[in-house]
């Protein structure tokens, strides 16, 4: 294959610009990898007259999708336009026209990944999506290739840079949630509508993708239990720190005896845990395998060049497959049927903060309720509430219990006369093993 490979781009935003920059600047390295030149054939944009931050021949730009996806001279389509339904339509049309596809679209892959992989396989085309999870971290390729001989039992990590930036600033500098969110928006880490990030939806999509690959079962977005960080308070972070913990928005996918749980939620980690030191917009994912044990993948989770690097790495893989004549053979159907854990099978420790009446018997009533359910405490604090002479605050971290039992306890706490309010409750990972 010496004629060269032509690439069509759907989208020329932050990531698309980074892709072109890398292809232009790394031409020698790319030719060395694949044995032929790599060029940009056509680029779909919304506005042909828009001024751009990259030097690109205007004749390569088009506002007509079919100029890219149906172009007979283009071999590989790179989708970086975002959105779901329109992007899906373009990708399906491209695959039916025997064009290989690379996408950075996590929303699309979380919702339609299995369907698109099937279409790609039927048309003997490659479909790769490394950049859809954790930006420049090669986590998908590591699961599919590097750890393919192992049985993955757990994946846990920080997969959203926006929320990690917000929690870092709140924890380290005492900044308010509203102030840090505004700062994140000004820096470009958060969108003008930050709902997908701060309510955990972005991370949930990524965990659905990772669970599908890591566990070789078809995990849907609705299988992920999701809770965001918008209700996290300064007091929650203060007490977590006092007890030796750091709060992060953690994506968790865990498999035990063939049954899985997948969640995204604010989680307390011991300060000495490696994920506790992952700050600002950085991402990190822990992968646990039966053979390899623990591995950790760390790096920038977003940004033009980190994400574009993952896209171009997928492009290189596609081009190598083209050269070897093995395209369309990398996608495998799930090996296992999906079996979700019940609430009785999900075990964790919990952080709980209560406002209670400061009178004799209050503390005993609360601890007796936990004892009745055979749940003990790792740490326990009782403090007066400033300005409230008749009120106290109880902060506790339990030992492990199952989700069903904990929810029963939580409801009974709300029914106790001495408990005025359950202020907050979070999952706890790590620490004492009891």
Supply the residues annotated as catalytic. Answer: 206
Neighbours of 2 (CB within 10 A): 6
At 41, list the tokens.
């054939």
Nearest to 208 by CA among 311, 113, 129: 113
Helix, strand, coil percentages, rounded to 5, for the chain: 40, 25, 30
Report the C-alpha gap between 311 and 289 in whole angstroms: 26
Residues 6+ apart with CB under 8 A from 171: 237, 241, 246, 247
Report the C-alpha gap between 23 and 44 in whole angstroms: 17
Cα–Cα distances in angstroms (integers) from residue 183 to residues 40, 247, 295, 325, in the given order: 36, 20, 33, 49
Q: Which residue is it, tokens 């099937």?
A: 118
Residues 6+ apart with CB under 8 A from 275: 156, 157, 158, 248, 250, 269, 284, 286
Burial classification of residue 165, based on how many CB atoms lie within 10 Å of its CB (0-12 exposed, 13-18 middle, 19 or more buried): buried
Four-point Cα dihedral 18, 23, 27, 30, nearest 10: 110
Phi, psi of 388 (to 5 degrees): -125, 90
Report the C-alpha gap between 369 and 364 in whole angstroms: 9
Phi, psi of 40 (to 5 degrees): -90, 120
Three-state DSSP class for residue 331: coil
End-to-end CA distance of the chain: 60
Nearest to 42 by CA among 66, 22, 18, 26: 66
Q: Give the gyration radius of the chain's Cα atoms.
A: 24
């Amino acid at each position: 294959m010496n004629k060269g490979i032509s690439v069509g781009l759907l989208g020329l935003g932050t990531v698309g610009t980074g892709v072109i920059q890398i292809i232009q600047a790394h031409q020698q390295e790319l030719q060395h990898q694949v044995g032929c030149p790599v060029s940009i054939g056509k680029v779909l944009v919304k506005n042909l007259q828009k001024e751009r931050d990259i030097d690109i021949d205007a004749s390569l730009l088009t506002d007509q999708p079919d100029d890219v996806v149906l172009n007979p001279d283009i071999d590989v389509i790179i989708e970086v336009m975002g959105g779901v339904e329109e992007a899906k339509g373009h990708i399906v049309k491209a695959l039916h026209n025997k064009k290989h596809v690379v996408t950075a679209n996590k929303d699309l892959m979380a919702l339609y990944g299995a369907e698109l992989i099937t279409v790609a396989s039927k048309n003997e085309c490659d479909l790769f999506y490394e950049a859809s999870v954790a930006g420049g971290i090669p986590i998908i390729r590591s699961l599919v290739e590097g750890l393919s001989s192992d049985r993955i039992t757990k994946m846990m990590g920080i997969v959203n840079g926006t929320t990690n930036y917000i929690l870092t600033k709140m924890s380290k500098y005492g900044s308010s949630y509203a102030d840090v969110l505004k700062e994140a928006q000004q820096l470009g880490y958060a969108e003008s509508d930050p709902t997908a990030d701060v309510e955990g939806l972005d991370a949930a999509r990524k965990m659905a993708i990772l669970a599908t690959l890591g566990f070789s079962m078809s995990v849907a977005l609705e299988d992920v239990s999701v809770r965001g960080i918008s209700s996290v308070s300064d007091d929650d972070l203060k007490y977590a720190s006092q007890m030796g913990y750091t709060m992060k928005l953690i994506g968790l996918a865990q498999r035990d005896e063939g049954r899985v749980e997948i969640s995204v939620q604010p989680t307390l980690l011991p300060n000495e845990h490696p994920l506790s030191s992952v700050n600002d917009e950085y991402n990190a994912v822990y992968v646990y395998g039966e053979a390899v044990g623990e591995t950790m993948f760390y790096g920038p989770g977003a940004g033009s060049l980190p994400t574009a690097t993952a896209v171009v790495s997928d492009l290189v893989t596609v081009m190598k497959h083209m050269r070897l004549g093995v395209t369309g053979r990398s996608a495998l159907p799930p090996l296992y049927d999906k079996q979700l854990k019940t609430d009785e099978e999900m075990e964790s420790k919990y952080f709980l903060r209560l406002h209670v009446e400061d009178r004799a018997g209050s503390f005993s009533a609360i601890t007796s309720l936990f004892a009745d359910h055979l749940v003990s405490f790792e740490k326990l604090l009782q403090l007066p509430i400033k300005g409230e002479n008749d009120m106290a605050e109880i902060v506790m971290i339990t030992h492990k219990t199952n989700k069903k039992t904990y929810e029963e306890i939580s409801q009974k706490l709300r029914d106790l006369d001495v408990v005025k309010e359950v202020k907050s409750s979070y999952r706890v990972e790590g620490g004492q093993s009891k």
